[in-house]
Amino acid sequence: MILKHDGTPIATRVECVTTTLRMIKGLMLRRKIPDDYAMVFVFPEPKSDSIHALFMRFPIDVIFLDKDKRVIETARLNPWTGYKHVKNVSYVVEMNAGTSDRYGLVAGAELTFDIAATHINDHV
């Protein structure tokens, strides 16, 4: 699966998670992630969602998407200090800090990816 914005690939290594345990774990305790990596949290229906950066070792960009994969809001979370809460979220994307700025991911921007065509990683 490839994550794109305006036809431009922004992540070619995409890990999709759907279970609560995997969502809680997220990127915690990892030392780093590749520049072309994204973790996509897939919710069965829109919900209010909170993301934190506890146990993180590096800053991340978090992109909150609606059911149409349009950006609701973005946030930069620093290790141990970051926290963000957003309503009506269907997908959350975690990537390296700076990705949102580099690709112009602002409220209203649309991302494209095909969940059905990918292997969903629900392993703990």
Q: What is the pLDDT of residues 43-77, one digit of tens each?
A: 999 999 888 888 999 999 999 999 999 999 999 99
Domain at 107, CATH number: 2.60.120.1140
Taking the chain, what is the end-to-end CA distance rounded to the nearest angstrom?
20
Count structural domains, the chain.
Answer: 1
3-class SS at 103? helix
Residue 12, in any domain of the structure: yes
Residue 32, in any domain of the structure: yes
pLDDT surpassing 70 at residue 106: yes
Residue 122, in any domain of the structure: no
Q: Cα separation of 114 and 83, whole Å? A: 28
Q: Cα separation of 117 and 61, whole Å? A: 25
Domain that holds residue 73: 3-117
- How are beta strands 13-17 and 37-52 bridged, if at all? parallel
